[in-house]
C-alpha cells in the first residue's frame, strides 16, 4: 500500500501490474478488500487530523481574542495617560507664555527663511506642479516607498513636501528627478500607524479622499516624525500663534488684586485677546473628538470609539455646554461618527454568519455587546436572529446530506441561540418577543422540511413513528429555558400524520383483500338401508 503514497503513482500502471500478478477472480477480490480497508483507514486518519487541526484553530482563536482584549486595555490606559499629560501641559503653558512670546520674534525670521527655501526647492525640483506656496509654512520633507495594500509589495518611490495646508506627493524617477503626482489637504486625511510585521516595518496608512494608501519609511524615527508632522499640520490652525505682538497674558493673582483696587473705569476696557477666552476653554480632546473617533473606527478599536463618544456626550450634557461656543458643531460631528460606528458594527454583525453556529455566535459577541451598550438593541437583536437563521439552515442542509439526525441538531442549536440571546439581552425584556417570533418562523421551516424529506407519501408507519419520537424528545428540553414549542410543533405535523395514517390503513386493507362469502354447497349423504 506504500505505492499509493508515491508522488509518481499511476492508476493505469498499478491496474495492469495488479491484473498481471493476480490469478483468478478470488485474488482480485482479496486485493479489492485490502484497497477498501486502506481507503477507510486513510479516511479515518484524515478525519482525526482535521479534528485535531480544528481544535488547535479554536484554541488559537481564543488566544488571539485574549490578546486583543489585552491590547484594548493597553490602548485605553495609553489614552488616559495621554489625556493626563495634555492636562499637565495645559497647566504649564500659562507660565511659559511670556518666554515663548520673546522667542517668537527670534524664530520668525528663521521660519520665513525655511519657507522661502522650501518654496524655491519645490518650484525648481518638482515638474508639473503649478500651485501657489506663498504664505504657507513648511513643516517637513522626505522620501518614502509606496506599498501595495494587499501584499505590501513595493510599487514606487515617492517624495513628500508637507506644508501647513498642503501635502505634495511626487514620484522619484530613475534620474532622481521629481514628477508631481497629486496633492492633499492635511485636514482631510487620516494617518494610521501600522504595526511592524515580519516583512514590513516602519509603515503608515494614510486615508485620503482617493482611498487608503500605505507608505514605508526607511527608519523608525522617520516614521514617527512623519506621524507627528502630519498631526501637526492637521491641528495647525488651532496651534497657530501670531507672528507679531505679544500673546495675551492670563490675569495672575497679583494683577487681579491691583485691578480690584483701581477704579471701575480702568477695568472696563477689554484686551484684544479677550474674545478668544471662550475658545481657549474648549479642551483639546473635545475639539478633536470626531477625528479621534474616526481614526479609532478605522483601526477597529470599537470599544475605545464608543467610550470616547459616551465621554463627549456626557461632557456636553453638563453645565460646561454653556461655556462652549462650538458645542453644537462638536455634538453634530460626534453624532455623525456615532451613526457611522453603528453602521460598521451592524455590518460586522451581519457578516459573522458561518456554517458552524458556535463560531457565528462567538464572532457576534463583540459587536453585539457594543450595540447593546449604545442602546441599539432592537437593530442588534434583529440582525443577530438573521445571522442565526442562516447558520441554522446551512447546518440542517449539511445534516440531511450526511444522513444525520436533524431533529437533535435543530433543537440543540435552537436552545443555544435562545440561551445566548437571553444572556445578551438580559436587561431588555422587550427583545424576548422578537425571539419568540423567530422561533415560530424557524419551527415552521423545520416542520416543512421534515414533511418534505421524511414524511412523504408512501412512508411506512414504523418510519413515521421513529421520526415523531425523535422530534418529541428533544423538543421537550426547551421547556427548561422557558420555551415550550411541543404543542405548536404537533399542530404543524398533525395534518400530515393523519393523512399518512389514513393512507397506511387503506394500503393495509388493499393488501388483505375483500372478505369472501361462503357459497352454497350440496352435500350428498349415502342413505342407510
For residue range 455-467, what is the model confidence (pLDDT) as tens digits? 888 888 888 888 8
Give strand ranges (E) for 397-519.
Answer: none
**Interatomic CA distance for residues 507 and 503, integer angstroms:** 6
Cα dihedral value 355, 358, 360, 366, nearest 10: -170
Q: Which residues of the chain have pLDDT under 70?
A: 1-3, 5-7, 72, 90-111, 197-199, 237-282, 319-321, 354-355, 513-529
Confidence at residue 391, expressed as pLDDT on a 0 to 100 scale:
87
**Interatomic CA distance for residues 435 and 382, integer angstroms:** 9
**H-helix or E-strand spanning residue 266:** helix 264-267
Residue 381: CB atoms within 10 Å: 24
Cα-flanking dihedrals φ and ψ of residue 514, to 5°?
Answer: -75, 155
Confidence at residue 260, expressed as pLDDT on a 0 to 100 scale:
41
Confidence at residue 160, expressed as pLDDT on a 0 to 100 scale:
92
Per the listing, cell 440531511 goes with: 400
SS3 content of the chain, % helix, strand, coil (to 5): 65, 10, 25
Confidence at residue 174, expressed as pLDDT on a 0 to 100 scale:
78
Question: H-type helices in 191-350, by residue range?
Answer: 220-234, 236-239, 253-261, 264-267, 277-280, 284-287, 289-298, 302-317, 327-350
Global model pTM greater than 0.75: no
Confidence at residue 65, expressed as pLDDT on a 0 to 100 scale:
72
Cα end-to-end span (Å), the chain: 95
At residue 350, the 3 state secondary structure works out as helix
Kindly provide the b/e burial profile for residues 445-468, where b requires at least 16 CB atoms within 10 angstroms of the residue's own CB: ebbebbbeebbeeeeeeeebeebb
Confidence at residue 12, expressed as pLDDT on a 0 to 100 scale:
78
Per the listing, cell 481564543 goes with: 62
Residues 6+ apart with CB under 8 A from 307: 76
Q: Enter the C-alpha cell of residue 301.
A: 478599536
CB 305 within 8 A of CB 72: no
Strands 178-184 and 190-193 come out as unpaired
Confidence at residue 255, expressed as pLDDT on a 0 to 100 scale:
41
CB 200 within 8 A of CB 178: no
Residue 392: CB atoms within 10 Å: 22
Confidence at residue 233, expressed as pLDDT on a 0 to 100 scale:
85
Amino acid at each position: 500500500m506504500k505505492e499509493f503514497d508515491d508522488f509518481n503513482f499511476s492508476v493505469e500502471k498499478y491496474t495492469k501490474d495488479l491484473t498481471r500478478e493476480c490469478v483468478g477472480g478470488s485474488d482480485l477480490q482479496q486485493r479489492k478488500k485490502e484497497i477498501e480497508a486502506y481507503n477507510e483507514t486513510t479516511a479515518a486518519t484524515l478525519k482525526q487530523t482535521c479534528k485535531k487541526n480544528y481544535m488547535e484553530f479554536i484554541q488559537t482563536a481564543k488566544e488571539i481574542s485574549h490578546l486583543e482584549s489585552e491590547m484594548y486595555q493597553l490602548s485605553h490606559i495609553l489614552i488616559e495617560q495621554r489625556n493626563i499629560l495634555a492636562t499637565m501641559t495645559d497647566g504649564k503653558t500659562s507660565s511659559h507664555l511670556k518666554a515663548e512670546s520673546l522667542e517668537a520674534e527670534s524664530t520668525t525670521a528663521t521660519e520665513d527663511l525655511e519657507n522661502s527655501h522650501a518654496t524655491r526647492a519645490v518650484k525648481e525640483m518638482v515638474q508639473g506642479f503649478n500651485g501657489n506656496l506663498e504664505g504657507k509654512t513648511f513643516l517637513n520633507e522626505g522620501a518614502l516607498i509606496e506599498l501595495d495594500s494587499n501584499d505590501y509589495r513595493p510599487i514606487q518611490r515617492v517624495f513628500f513636501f508637507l506644508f501647513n495646508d498642503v501635502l505634495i506627493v511626487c514620484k522619484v524617477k530613475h534620474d532622481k528627478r521629481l514628477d508631481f503626482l497629486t496633492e492633499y489637504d492635511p485636514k482631510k486625511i487620516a494617518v494610521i500607524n501600522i504595526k511592524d510585521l515580519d516583512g514590513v516595518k516602519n509603515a503608515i496608512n494614510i486615508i485620503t479622499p482617493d482611498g487608503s494608501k500605505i507608505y514605508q519609511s526607511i527608519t523608525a524615527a522617520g516614521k514617527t516624525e512623519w506621524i507627528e508632522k502630519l498631526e501637526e499640520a492637521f491641528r495647525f490652525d488651532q496651534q497657530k500663534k501670531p507672528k507679531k505682538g505679544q500673546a495675551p497674558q492670563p490675569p495672575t493673582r497679583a494683577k487681579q488684586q491691583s485691578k480690584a483696587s483701581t477704579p471701575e473705569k480702568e477695568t472696563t476696557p477689554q484686551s484684544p485677546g479677550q474674545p478668544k477666552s471662550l475658545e481657549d476653554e474648549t479642551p483639546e480632546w473635545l475639539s478633536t473628538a470626531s477625528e479621534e473617533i474616526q481614526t479609532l473606527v478605522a483601526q477597529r478599536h470599537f470599544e475605545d470609539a464608543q467610550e470616547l463618544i459616551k465621554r463627549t456626550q456626557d461632557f456636553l450634557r453638563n453645565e460646561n455646554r454653556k461655556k462652549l461656543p462650538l458645542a453644537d458643531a462638536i455634538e453634530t460631528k460626534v453624532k455623525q461618527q456615532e451613526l457611522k460606528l453603528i453602521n460598521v458594527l451592524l455590518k460586522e454583525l451581519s457578516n459573522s454568519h458561518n456554517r458552524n453556529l458556535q463560531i457565528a455566535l462567538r464572532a457576534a459577541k463583540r459587536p453585539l455587546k457594543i450595540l447593546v451598550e449604545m442602546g441599539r438593541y432592537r437593530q442588534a437583536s434583529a440582525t443577530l436572529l438573521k445571522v442565526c437563521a442562516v447558520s441554522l439552515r446551512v447546518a440542517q442542509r449539511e445534516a440531511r446530506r450526511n444522513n444525520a439526525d436533524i431533529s437533535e441538531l435543530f433543537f440543540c442549536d435552537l436552545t443555544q441561540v435562545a440561551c445566548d440571546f437571553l444572556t445578551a439581552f438580559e436587561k431588555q425584556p422587550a427583545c424576548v418577543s422578537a425571539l419568540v417570533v423567530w422561533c415560530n418562523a424557524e419551527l415552521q421551516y423545520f416542520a416543512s422540511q421534515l414533511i418534505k424529506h421524511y414524511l412523504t407519501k408512501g412512508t411506512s408507519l414504523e418510519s413515521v413513528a421513529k421520526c415523531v419520537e425523535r422530534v418529541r424528545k428533544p423538543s421537550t428540553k426547551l421547556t427548561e429555558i422557558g420555551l415550550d414549542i411541543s404543542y405548536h410543533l404537533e399542530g404543524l405535523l398533525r395534518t400530515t400524520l393523519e393523512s399518512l395514517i389514513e393512507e397506511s390503513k387503506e394500503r393495509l386493507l388493499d393488501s388483505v383483500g375483500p372478505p369472501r362469502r361462503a357459497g352454497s354447497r350440496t352435500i350428498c349423504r349415502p342413505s342407510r338401508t
